[in-house]
Amino acid sequence: MISQEFVQNYFHTNKINNIDYEKNVFKYIQNIVLEHLVKLYDNSDGFFTGFSGYLFRQNFKTVFEHIADLLLEAVSLSNNSIIEFLNYYTSGIIVLDGIKYKVPSIEVENGNTLKIVSILPIIKVYFKANHTIVELQKEIDKVSLELKKLYIGHKSPVAFNTNILNSIENIKVKIGTKTKKLKSRYDSIEKIPNTTLRLQKNREKNSLLLEIKKLNKEIEMLNSKIVQANVIKKYITLKSKMDSLVRHKKNQEQVLSQVDSKFTTVRDALVKALISKKKRV
């Protein structure tokens, strides 16, 4: 928040120059911290002046890393005023009022100095991939929510239908078995001469018929629960979209991983330049 406010106020709105930046950057940032403390606690006690400085010192590295991130992102979007500001760090030697100064450079650990034109490809790829990943994640979250609305309990509509159809098939097998038993054992009941035995066989037959009827009722009940085709179609479409989004996000994450260390090197070198001052030579 502090870094964003500083960059917005002093780079986008007021377009600070390098001389003013070098002279006042720490004061400007501490003042922003102080303003937030005063607003937060509704108190302008002098204690906060010192406390704001303490907080700034404690978060010094993080604040400037974020500032560097924001400036590099602006460069990746071709912000001319910020490109001009950062080009100052490629000046080498400058003359002010007849006095020569050595300007801080964007220097990496091996001693090489970086120019804006040389880091452009890295930061453009980095921020484009980062932005794409964020947008893809938003879309993934949105599609995921739509998919969850189609779930029945913890099952997708496809899995739910598959379970129902498997259950129906199992019941049909049971019905087939009982039907065969019915035909093989009870077709000739009326020809049985023994009345008692005939009545017993009829009871067994009726019991079996009742079991088959109950099983058919179960099939009817299960059929009534089957998810409609339009819902299945919607689910399959959303699932396909989700799979595509996830693949695209993974590809972008791979792209990001390939430039991440290079970007960090550039960012760290810029931080060193941003917290340094020109020296008289």
User: Is pLDDT larger for residue 64 or for residue 179?
Assistant: 64
Under 8 Å between Cβ of 126 and 263? yes
pLDDT of residue 192 exceeding 90: no
In the chain, the N- to C-terminal Cα span, in Å, equals 37
Look up the pTM and report it.
Answer: 0.80
Could you tell me what percent of the chain has a pLDDT over 90? 73
The stretch 122-147 carries a mean pLDDT of 97
C-alpha atoms less than 13 angstroms from C-alpha of 22 in its C-beta half-sphere: 14
Query: What is the average pLDDT score of the chain?
Result: 90
**Which residues, in sequence order, are CB contacts of 238 under 8 Å at separation 6+?**
143, 146, 147, 150
Under 8 Å between Cβ of 129 and 256? yes
